[in-house]
Chain A
Amino acid sequence: MVFNHRFTSRVVNRLHPGSDGDIFVPHGSITILGTTSMPTDRPDDTTPTSEEVLRLLKIGEPLFPRVKEYRILRAFAGTRPLYTPGNAAGRKASRNFHVMDHAEQGLDGMVSIFGGKLTTYRLMGERTTDKVCAKLGVTAPCRTAQEAIVPDPDEATLSRAAKYFPVQGIKLMADRMGDDLTPVLEHAEKADSNPLLCECEMVSLAEIACVANDPSTHSLTDIRLRTRLGMGTCQGTFCSLRTVAALSEHGVSLEFSATDNVRRFLQERWGGLRPALWGMQAREMELGRAVYAGTLNLDGAAHEQDC
C-alpha cells in the first residue's frame, strides 16, 4: 500500500523471518508498506482488498504507532511466479530466481529461467547467458554488472534542462527518461512553453509529448507508467484532462478518444483507491467524482457521444 508522504529517508525493515508487512520503503515523495502474499489461481486478477490493507496497517503499527492516521493513496498488487525445487509454497517458497538446464530432463539445448524481479533482471540475464555460453563454448566474461545501461546525465545537460523544467524535478525526470532525456530536452527547447501538466509528480508537457509519440504508447495509462503522471495526491483529477487537452492541441493521437482515455485512466486509478476508501483520500476521490462526473459529465458522455 502507498502512503501520501515520505515518512522516512531510508527503508525500515524488520529483522525476523520473512512474513507479511515487513518493510516500509520510501520512494520519491511517497512511502510503500508491504507486502502480503497469497497463492492464486487467477494470476491475471491483481485486485487488492480492504482486508489486506487493514492487515498491513495492523502489522505496521508497532513500527509507526500512528500509521492508521497517515493518508493512504492507494493499494496495489502484482503477480509473481515463484519456483522452488521440492514444492515449497507460500512464504517458504524462495523469492530467488532459478536457471534450469533441461538437459537433466533429456531436453538438451533448452534453458529456462523462473522467478526473479525487475531489480534482479540483469543478474538473471548474466546467469542465463553464462549457462548458454558455456554450452556454446563462449568464454568471454559477461560485462552487464559493470556497464551502465543509461549513463547518468552530465552537469551540462542538467543545467540546460534547468531552463525548461522545475529544478526539484529534473533529477527525477532524468531517472525516468534515461536515454530519452535528450529528445525530451530538445522538445522543450523547441516549444513555446513547457507547462507542468502533473503538479503532484512534476511531469511537464515535453516529457509527456515525447512519451506519447513513442509507438508503444497507446493510452494515458502507458504515459503514466513511463512518467508517473497521475500517481500523486490527486490521482489524475487535474492532470488527466490537461494531458488529453495538450496532446489534442499538439496533434498527438492515442488509441482511444479523449473521453475514453480519461475514463480508462481514472478507472485504473479507482481500482487502487477502492480498498482504502476512507480518511483524506476519500475526500480527494470525491473531488475527482465532482470534477469528472459532476462537472464534466464523463459518465453521461460515454452514452451520448458518437450516437
Chain B
Amino acid sequence: MSRIVDVLVVGSGMAGLMAALTAAEQGRSVQLLTTGMGSLAISGGSVDFLGYADGRLAADPWQSLALLPEDHPYRLLGTESVRSAFQFFADVMERQHWPMHPALAQSGAPRNTQLPTIMGTLKPSYLLPASLDAQALTSAKRVLVLSVQGLRDCRTALVVSQLKRYKSWADREFSQGLLPSPFGETHRAITALDLARLADKPQSRQWLLDALAPHAGKYDLILIPPLCGSKANPETWQAINAAAGCPVVEMLSIPPGVGGLRLRDALLHALHKHNFEMVENTTVLRAEISGKSCTALVAEASGQLRRHAARAFVAATGGILGGGMTLEPGKCWDSVFGIDITVPQDVAQWSEPEIFGSHLFSHMGVGVDREMRPVDAAAAVRWQNVFFAGRSLGGYDYATEKSGHGVAIATGWQAGRMAAAAAGAGENQ
C-alpha cells in the first residue's frame, strides 16, 4: 500500500480497538494490523477496572486507585484521565446500543460487582452490559443454575456447591437444571460459543426460548453459561429474559470468551463508521525508524512482507500472552520496536514460588511517559510518534488486580489521542 495513514495501530484487543476508535473519532485515518483476535476473545464481556489493590478487595475502585504504586498505568495517567477514558468508552457503547455501566452502591457511588463464574467463584468487575442485572445478583432468593447437555465447561453441581461457600450466596434457594442440546447427539464437544451463535438469529434461538419457558415465573434469577448471542444485539438477551420470566445472568467462563466478542462486535461497528481499515492475520516484524520518528512498520501476511507507512503508531500488542513481548532466558524485549526491557539475568528471579504471587514477569513491560511514549532508562522519550497501550506496558498485573480491560481502555484512549495529535503535527510539517 502506498498511501500513508494517519495512525497505524497494532493489536485488536481492547487497547488496540480503543486507541483506533479514539484516533478515528478525532477525524484521523486509522489502519489496524492484527495477528489474531486479541484479548476480547477470552473476555467475559464486562470491564474489570480494579478488583484488588494492595491485596485488598476494592469495593469502590476509584477510591482504591490511591493504593496503587506510582508506576502503575492508572497512576501515570491520573484519575481524571482515567475518568475521561471511561466516559469516552461509555459514550461509544451507548451509541452502539450496548451500554456499559457500573452498578451503584446505596450511596449512589459506582461500585464493583461480584460476578459469578462457571466455577462457582465470584470475581469483582466494574462496567457491566445492560443484559447483566446486578440488582438481581444481590437480591435474588430463588436461583436456578442452568447448563446445556454436552457443555463440558459448565456443570451446575459445581457452581452451586461453590457459590454456597460465599456468605453472600449461602442462604439462597438453589435449583439446578440441564437444558437439552440443540445439536442433539454429537461427537464433537460443544462450547458456549456454538450455542451463542445459534442464539444470534431468531429462528435458531427458538430452542433456547422453548427450553426456558417451563422455568418461567419460578425463580428470581437464572444463571446460565455465556450463550446469549455472540453479537452486541440487545434483542437477543431481551428475548431470552422474556422467555425466562426473570433476569438471566451469564456466568463468566473459560475461553472462548463469548461476552468479549460482543464488545468486539460493538467496537468494530463503531470503528467502521470512520475512516478505518483492519488488516487481519498479519504479524508485524519490525519498525523503520528515522531519527526520533517511526516511519513505517514491516509486517508479514501469508508469507509476503508489506510496508505500512503512517504518521503515528500505537503498539497495543498484548504483552506476553499477546506476543507483544518476547521472553528468552535472561532477556525480554517488545516484539515490534525491539525495545529492551530490563530484567534480571537469572530467570529464577522472574517469578515467585506461589503461582498467584506477585511475579516480576507479570509486571514486566515497556516504560512510558504520561503520553504513553516509550522512554529509555534516563526517562527520555525514544520516538515522538510511537505510543504504547495495554498489557505491553509494565507496572501492573491485570490477572491478580482484575484490571485488564480497564487499563486497556484508559491507556488505549490516551495512546489514541496522543497518536492523533502526533499525526496532526506530522501532517503540518
Interface residues of A (CB under 8 A from B): 49-51, 54, 193, 195-197, 237-238, 241-242, 244-246, 248-249, 251, 257-259, 262-263, 266-267, 270-271, 274-279, 282-283, 286-287, 289-301, 304-307
Q: Which 7 A-B pairs have the closest CB atoms?
A: A245-B155, A299-B356, A293-B399, A297-B123, A286-B321, A50-B347, A248-B158
Bound-state CA distance A251–B48 (Å) is: 34
Asked if residues B121 and A298 are in contact (CB atoms below 8 Å), the reply is: yes
Contact of B320 among A238, A275, A286 (CB under 8 A): A286
Task: Report the minimal beta-carbon distance from A275 to chain B, rounded to whole angstroms.
Answer: 7
Indicate whether A248 sits within 8 Å of B157 (C-beta atoms), given known contacts A50-B348, A195-B150, A197-B152.
yes
Asked if residues B348 and A289 are in contact (CB atoms below 8 Å), the reply is: no
Task: Report the minimal beta-carbon distance from B346 to chain A, rounded to whole angstroms.
Answer: 7
Asked if residues B402 and A294 are in contact (CB atoms below 8 Å), the reply is: yes
Indicate whether A296 sits within 8 Å of B119 (C-beta atoms), given known contacts A274-B348, A290-B42, A305-B162.
yes
Some 12 contacts from A to B, beta carbons below 8 A apart, are A195-B189, A245-B155, A248-B157, A279-B328, A282-B361, A287-B42, A289-B356, A294-B404, A296-B123, A297-B122, A300-B123, A304-B57
B158: which A residues are within 8 A, CB to CB?
244-245, 248-249, 258
Q: Give the contact stretch, choosing among B132-140, B252-260, B421-429.
A: B252-260
Using a CB-CB cutoff of 8 Å, which residues 118-169 of chain B contact chain A?
118-124, 150, 152-158, 161-162, 165-167
Contact of B399 among A195, A241, A248, A289 (CB under 8 A): A289
Query: Does B234 lie at the interface of the complex (its beta carbon under 8 Å from any beta carbon of A)?
Result: no
Asked if residues A241 and B254 are in contact (CB atoms below 8 Å), the reply is: yes
Query: Does B329 lie at the interface of the complex (its beta carbon under 8 Å from any beta carbon of A)?
Result: yes
Bound-state CA distance A237–B399 (Å) is: 14
Task: Report the minimal beta-carbon distance from A38 to chain B, rounded to whole angstroms.
Answer: 16
Using a CB-CB cutoff of 8 Å, which residues 261-284 of chain B contact chain A?
none
Asked if residues A283 and B347 are in contact (CB atoms below 8 Å), the reply is: no
Bound-state CA distance A289–B391 (Å) is: 14
Task: Report the minimal beta-carbon distance from A63 to chain B, rounded to whole angstroms.
Answer: 19
B150: which A residues are within 8 A, CB to CB?
193, 195
Query: Does B355 lie at the interface of the complex (its beta carbon under 8 Å from any beta carbon of A)?
Result: yes
Asked if residues A266 and B348 are in contact (CB atoms below 8 Å), the reply is: no
Bound-state CA distance A263–B44 (Å) is: 21
B351: which A residues are within 8 A, CB to CB?
274, 277
Query: Does B413 lie at the interface of the complex (its beta carbon under 8 Å from any beta carbon of A)?
Result: no
Query: Does B354 lie at the interface of the complex (its beta carbon under 8 Å from any beta carbon of A)?
Result: yes
Task: Report the minimal beta-carbon distance from A232 to chain B, rounded to whole angstroms.
Answer: 16
A195: which B residues are within 8 A, CB to CB?
150, 152, 189
Asked if residues A275 and B347 are in contact (CB atoms below 8 Å), the reply is: yes
Contact of B117 among A263, A295, A299 (CB under 8 A): A295
Query: Does B64 lie at the interface of the complex (its beta carbon under 8 Å from any beta carbon of A)?
Result: no
Using a CB-CB cutoff of 8 Å, which residues 82-117 of chain B contact chain A?
117
Asked if residues A258 and B122 are in contact (CB atoms below 8 Å), the reply is: no
Bound-state CA distance A263–B357 (Å) is: 12
Asked if residues B361 and A277 are in contact (CB atoms below 8 Å), the reply is: yes
